Structure 1
Amino acid sequence: MKPSIDRLLFTAAAGFASQAERKAFLEFACRNDPDRLMRLEELLEVRRDAEDFFEFQPKVQKESDSEDERGLGARIGPYRLIERLGSGGCGVVYLAEQLEPVKRNVALKIIRLGMDTENVIARFNLEREALALMDHPNIARVLDAGTTASGRPYFVMELVDGEKITEFCDRHRLGLRERLEVFRLVCEAIQHAHQKGVVHRDIKPSNVLVRAHERRFEPKVIDFGIAKATAGGIDPAGTATKFGEFIGTPAYVSPEQAEGNVDIDTRSDIYSLGALLCELLTGSPPLPFERFDRRGVEEIRDLLRESSTSAPSMKLLNIPDGEIEEVANSRGVDAQRLKSMLSGDLDWIVMKATEKDRQRRYETADGLAMDVGRYLREEPVLARPPSRRYLLTKWVRRNRVTFAAGSVALFGILSGFGISTWLFVRERQARHEQAKLRIVAEQATANEIRLREDAKVADQVRQAAVLLKYNDVQPADALLDGLPAERVPHSLEAADTFMKVANWNLSQGRWEAAAQRFYALGYVLTNVDMSDSEHISFDLLSVMTAVCEWGSDEQFENLRNLAIIRFSDSANPIVAEQVIKATLLKPATPEILSKIQPLAKILESSIDEKRGPKTPHMVAWRQFSLALLAYRGENLEMAAKLAASSLVMAANSEPRTVSDELILAMVNLRQGRKELAREKIQTLRGEVDEWMQEPFKVTNSDGTLWYNQGAVLILLKEAERMLKNSGG
């Protein structure tokens, strides 16, 4: 091989604008040397792909004459090559047909001709092992791997039917909200890879393919070919990248990765995700592609290390009017509206993700996704503007020589004036100020931790709501398991989500789990929809019954206090009746009973014949609620009178009838009529046992809900305990 001749022919061929002219020139110049012709064609092909796959290649070795896997239609193991899909820095990707054991189309990647050095083969083996670890719906799955007849490595992965994320979003004219939702799925996929100990290191639009499936957008992250293992069973020392080697695409690569550092971690992917997000929002990454044109490696590294990036909203100011209108139209808004939408939270999210100093970026891809979620929910984001101290530090680093010289001169001047005493005073003041700032910082940290925890809980509730839409109840319930009730978001969506999973747990006989879901639901119901309608108080009956029966005494007391505070000002008789029944399932203190008195007056007024309800059934339930209140307040005569009146008013409601008779039985027991009380309680136990033999249903055949029987069972157990304690 004569490198000088090859270099001359390569340079000459690269100067032809037409591919046909270039091919004719090479065939003439290499008419007696087919090996050289093949090498030059491959080198020119690498040059054509360099814009998408910026990577320094090892020297090209002479290709063997046996490389018949290059031909379309050729067989490689059980695969037949159909069409060349594209090529990257170290591989060529083909559409292939798997012939056995099943027939299907796949993507088959072969290490590039001339790239089969020891370093590249090591990279291939690492890629194969890294991808095998991952199992995520938004990451392309690895199906097979092996070597060709000539010993070149290849691997097979699922064929992703999609297009580049940026082109997909532009072609479908997705708005910012839709783009951010797709981007969050990409972050979740990268988070999965990071949890498996894999850093992608080449996140860019061409490696994130998106398709529309059943009215949803599904992204797939592909090509972990330059991934570096950091944990998870892969040898961390087995990196496929030598120190100082540049791998990645300049517009998306982090400064530390451009330096070729060996300690690349997950925060390098965070930078690339931030650059991708910037392009989804504005049409270009933080550093536009044209800034890297015709620059050498060191120039590119200096550019990535030193160049400042502007916020997305500021980037739009530098785009010509015609182009910015096109960018805005592809996002479904006008140019002015796009600028205002980007200004603020989205600016800071992108700037935090693409910080030059990786210590100041988001720590995880999940953290970035959660901040995007907060923006979508109009909640405060955790991204913050750089502090003055940080800006000063950056200025000092950019002007080291000037700052050092100025410091020396200043020191000489100040020392000549005996500045030591002044410095002592300033130091003491600084210590006091630092102590104050430390307290503020600790408070800010505590607030940030609280916000993170609240956001995490809100994200889990949101994910559970999505799963419920697809009837995936069990995984939705698992997401809600153990969530602190006080951190559950106060929203109707959260209320609906917890009600569904609570009822599902009841249907599965998981009573304690149901009580925990109802307990969290109680916090939501007492803090959402502050209207005076009975919708919320109706749901509260299920909550209080479940917590009273299967939860703890402390939980019941917490919800009882919250419910009384929430509904104390109600003027709705139905609300008053339901709150009294729900909160008095257990004995109450005089203080609690005093707080319920306003609701009792609403009920007493509603029973008036002129203004009262039309149906005897409603009157009977209100009389029972007042009877229960009178009994809890030790007014036994009034309790017996109201319970007897409720029995006469509507005797066809089995749960309420049993409840009235239980109050009468407990009154008889308290007044010394033990035998009469025992006979009645034993009779009622038989009736209740008949209910309990039937399979549990949230809604009974007569249209009543489960909590009616649940409340009866709670009162019956209370009566039986009283009877046992009395010696009966």
Structure 2
Amino acid sequence: MSEARTSPQAPLKVLFDSLIALDGREEREAFLDFTCREDPELRARLERLLALHTQADDFFNGAKSGAEEVPEEVTGEEAEGTRIGRYRLLGRLGEGGCGVVYLAEQQEPVKRRVALKIIRLGMDTENVIARFEMERQALAMMDHPNIARVLDVGATRTGRPYFVMQLVDGEKITDFCDQKRLGLAERLRLFIRICQAVQHAHQKGVIHRDIKPSNILIWEHDGEAVPKVIDFGIAKATESSLEGHVTYTAEGHFIGTPSYMSPEQAAGRGLDVDTRTDVYSLGSLLHELLCGRPPFDPAALREMGADEVQRTLLDVDPPKPSSVIESMDPAELAEVAARRACEVSRLAAAVRDDLDRIVCKAMAKDRQQRYSGADALAADVSCFLNDEPVSARPPGGLYRLRKLVRRNKVVFGTGAVVFASLVLGLGGATAMYFRANRAREAAEQARANEAELRQKAEVGRNIARAAVLVRHGRFDEADGLMGWIPPSQAEPSLESADTFRALGIWHGREGRWRKAADRFAGLAYSLSSADTTDTDAVSLNLQPAATAFCEAGDVEGYQRLRSMAVERFGQTTHPVVAEQVVKACLLRAADDEVLSRLARLEDLMLDAEKATGGVTGDNLVAWREFAIALMEFRKGNYNEALQWLTRCMASTSENPARTAIALAVRSMVFGHQNRRIEAAHDMERAESIVAQRFAREPSIFDEWEPVWQDWINARLLIREAEAAVGK
């Protein structure tokens, strides 16, 4: 009996869904011939269901004939002209395992052409929708020039998810390389860029799981070939809520493409898949780029049952690219060599040894023996291109010396002449020894660089995982991942900034100010590097970091943050940015150097005050006046500070936290002027306002984020006033 009939995991519905998903009568007939070759009864049932399905489609399509716009929920297969949200479909581009891709035109707010992918008819099962949701989340996390960007997501009127991607007008990588007659070196340089894109995805905690030529498109921009990795449709966020999925949809239906699929995918161990699965698929892609064939023949795999495919991928070693080349008949070999701009007699030799070993290491059955990541694979390919030793080959003196000679042909040519003239003198031998020693040191440095790259990748993965955990409220686990990452080493991104911010607020709510300070410092460093714009949305994040450092009593950490803030925002032209920076940098007394570097920001705020014509009552204006007063107080100009504090406190905008802060500073100004009674009065008022606020529920952290640090700052300045004025 066939597997389709006997397997309890292949119900009639799965077979019928697969049947109606095929285009054309010939494809459906071939499917029935293969699936039901030993089961006429099963074939008859499927044919009856197909007839009923066709009649239903004809009925509904006929009922809507002549309509100006054909609703997608009626036709199932979206017709040209159908509108989905803001998009009008222009035609069908292709399809993947669970979705159909359309060329679409965005109507608003801008008009442009995009690629829109949607669940195809007959595939909207619960598991496929879950995988598709994962695809949308994975793409939203990508931000790399060699990964197709996601532009929008949504759902059709029938609830089928779709996403909109950057339209990549390109060819699959193998076709592009063959048509352009790219040599091996050019192909390898493209491959390195693809590895770098995949490494970016891995740093975001995402595994592609279906890397193959059709998912790598090449388009030309200003004469340069630009690779784009597309279709993260079966990507798996490593810490997502979908962590229980496996790599089969039903008996014989893989998530992935068997010719490029890793052994652990073929075994159906969905929980056991990691980034080295993509390393295996990249090795398969490299195999095809080198010799023109994938490691396992797709046509042969299609003829096999699922069990036989699985056994092949688990037990059969892929052939080396050079062996494949040597086994080709003369006509095929001539064509393959021509497409690689290489002489027939030299092609196998060019691939043999290092490139063979790189492919074999990437495709090792035991993933412990593969490259640790896509970056390590790219590094070894770069070593090959630069005539440096590759890690895939065991180290040896003669091998390293040969690489050294290739990199320094002119030097060694001259050395050979000298060596011959000296008749086996020791000079040439000694020179070669030292050069070989330098080559060994260079290889050791390359390994150290690889370790550093692995550490950076681990940092990126931890940040991505922590972001997912924070979204699910699992702050303890997220903080455990982020706790060992120094703020200055965190990958600058909006995602890492949001994660640091959430963890800082969580620690602050619990009164753990030392840890809150570390997380807010990570927020400030990450966001300042990720967003280089001159806006208060960036500078605002200095406030919680400065507040947390001061509340924790970390003077050294606060001074580092202050130096970074002055360096990053010292040339701002935005008055609100200037206000934020001055308030963050002057929570504690500052030396003359810091005050002189902040003088330009005070001038900027003074110009803004002149422009307002002395208007009061606005909350932002009052905060700016307080920042100027704080600056004058730290400079020792107490009369000027008192004037600006008076203007600030005259504001009609109600802000108790601002009032308490201003009272605390004015208390210190009065103290320096020996006005003790007024100083004590202001301090008592400030203490009363803060005490009432901290006695209330809910917590200050439950309000709008920028408000809470004002209350902590008021408490900090009251303590300073108590120490300065006495209580």
- When normalised by structure 1's length, the TM-score is 0.50
The alpha-carbon deviation at position 587 of structure 1 amounts to 0.9
Separation (CA, whole Å) in 2 of partners of 1:656 and 1:712: 8
Q: Kindly indicate whether residue 669 of structure 2 is the aligned counterpart of residue 643 of structure 1.
A: no
Partner of 2:619: 617
SS of residue in 2 equivalent to 1:649? coil
Letter matched to residue 286 of structure 1: P
The alpha-carbon deviation at position 318 of structure 1 amounts to 8.4
The alpha-carbon deviation at position 221 of structure 1 amounts to 6.3
Worse-matched range after superposition: 709-718 or 606-615: 606-615
Identify which of 449, 452, 456 aligns with 1:450: 452
Partner of 1:569: 571
Partner of 2:372: 367
- Alignment check: 8 A CA contact 2:602 2:628 kept: yes
Partner of 2:40: none
- Alignment check: 8 A CA contact 1:623 1:646 kept: yes
- Provide, for residues 25-82 of structure 1, a one-character-per-residue CA deviation record: whole Å limited to 9, x for no partner: xxxxxxxxxxxxxxxxxxxx9xx9xxxxxxxxxxxxxxxxxxxxxxx9xxxxxxxx96
SS of residue in 2 equivalent to 1:384? helix
The alpha-carbon deviation at position 677 of structure 1 amounts to 2.7
SS of residue in 2 equivalent to 1:367? coil
- Provide, for residues 538-583 of structure 1, a one-character-per-residue CA deviation record: whole Å limited to 9, x for no partner: 2222222122212621211111111111111111111111111111
Pairing of 1:455-534 with structure 2 (within 5 A) = 455-534=457-536
Identify which of 575, 578, 584 aligns with 2:580: 578
Pairing of 1:173-212 with structure 2 (within 5 A) = 185=207
SS of residue in 1 equivalent to 2:529? coil
Larger radius of gyration: 1
Change (3 A) 1:384 1:535: same
Identify which of 645, 648, 660 aligns with 2:662: 660
The alpha-carbon deviation at position 672 of structure 1 amounts to 3.1
Separation (CA, whole Å) in 1 of partners of 2:277 and 2:703: 57
Q: Kindly indicate whether residue 687 of structure 2 is the aligned counterpart of residue 678 of structure 1.
A: no
The alpha-carbon deviation at position 650 of structure 1 amounts to 3.9
Pairing of 1:380-391 with structure 2 (within 5 A) = 384-386=382-384, 388=387, 390=389
Q: Kindly indicate whether residue 222 of structure 2 is the aligned counterpart of residue 220 of structure 1.
A: no
- Alignment check: 8 A CA contact 2:208 2:235 kept: no
Separation (CA, whole Å) in 2 of partners of 1:609 and 1:703: 29
Change (3 A) 1:221 1:603: same
Change (3 A) 1:291 1:428: farther
- Provide, for residues 63-102 of structure 1, a one-character-per-residue CA deviation record: whole Å limited to 9, x for no partner: xxxxxxxxx9xxxxxxxx96899xxxxxxxxxxxxxxxxx
Pairing of 1:27-66 with structure 2 (within 5 A) = none
Worse-matched range after superposition: 561-570 or 702-711: 702-711
Separation (CA, whole Å) in 2 of partners of 1:695 and 1:286: 66
- Alignment check: 8 A CA contact 2:279 2:374 kept: no
Separation (CA, whole Å) in 1 of partners of 2:391 and 2:602: 66
- Alignment check: 8 A CA contact 2:565 2:581 kept: yes
- Number of matched pairs: 455
The alpha-carbon deviation at position 485 of structure 1 amounts to 0.8
Partner of 1:605: 607
The alpha-carbon deviation at position 621 of structure 1 amounts to 1.6
SS of residue in 1 equivalent to 2:456? helix
SS of residue in 1 equivalent to 2:674? coil
Separation (CA, whole Å) in 2 of partners of 1:393 and 1:623: 65
The alpha-carbon deviation at position 530 of structure 1 amounts to 2.0
Separation (CA, whole Å) in 1 of partners of 2:435 and 2:442: 11
The alpha-carbon deviation at position 464 of structure 1 amounts to 2.3
Change (3 A) 1:429 1:667: same
Change (3 A) 1:689 1:521: same
SS of residue in 1 equivalent to 2:246? strand
Separation (CA, whole Å) in 2 of partners of 1:520 and 1:371: 28
Change (3 A) 1:664 1:276: same
Which runs of 5 or more residues in structure 1 are unaligned? 1-18, 20-44, 49-71, 73-80, 86-159, 188-208, 223-248, 255-265, 311-316, 325-348, 373-379, 404-413
Separation (CA, whole Å) in 2 of partners of 1:702 and 1:306: 61
SS of residue in 1 equivalent to 2:540? helix
Which runs of 5 or more residues in structure 2 are unaligned? 12-125, 136-161, 173-193, 210-232, 249-257, 264-273, 304-311, 326-331, 340-353, 403-415
Partner of 1:713: 715
Identify which of 595, 598, 601 aligns with 2:597: 595
The alpha-carbon deviation at position 632 of structure 1 amounts to 1.0
- Provide, for residues 169-205 of structure 1, a one-character-per-residue CA deviation record: whole Å limited to 9, x for no partner: 9xx9999999967996599xxxxxxxxxxxxxxxxxx
SS of residue in 2 equivalent to 1:705? helix
Partner of 2:295: 286
Letter matched to residue 382 of structure 2: R
Query: Percent of aligned positions with the same letter in both sequences?
Result: 23
Change (3 A) 1:304 1:382: closer
Provide the aligned C-alpha RMSD in A.
5.8
Partner of 2:426: 424
- Provide, for residues 669-722 of structure 1, a one-character-per-residue CA deviation record: whole Å limited to 9, x for no partner: 223344543343244223322222224645566996101101111111111222
Identify which of 334, 355, 360 aligns with 2:360: 355
Separation (CA, whole Å) in 1 of partners of 2:296 and 2:243: 27
Separation (CA, whole Å) in 1 of partners of 2:719 and 2:468: 40
The alpha-carbon deviation at position 363 of structure 1 amounts to 6.0
SS of residue in 2 equivalent to 1:220? coil
The alpha-carbon deviation at position 367 of structure 1 amounts to 2.4
- Provide, for residues 377-396 of structure 1, a one-character-per-residue CA deviation record: whole Å limited to 9, x for no partner: xxx86753436465899899
- Provide, for residues 353-387 of structure 1, a one-character-per-residue CA deviation record: whole Å limited to 9, x for no partner: 6335999x986768226769xxxxxxx86753436
SS of residue in 1 equivalent to 2:360? coil
- Provide, for residues 571-599 of structure 1, a one-character-per-residue CA deviation record: whole Å limited to 9, x for no partner: 11111111111111111110000000010
Separation (CA, whole Å) in 2 of partners of 1:603 and 1:699: 29
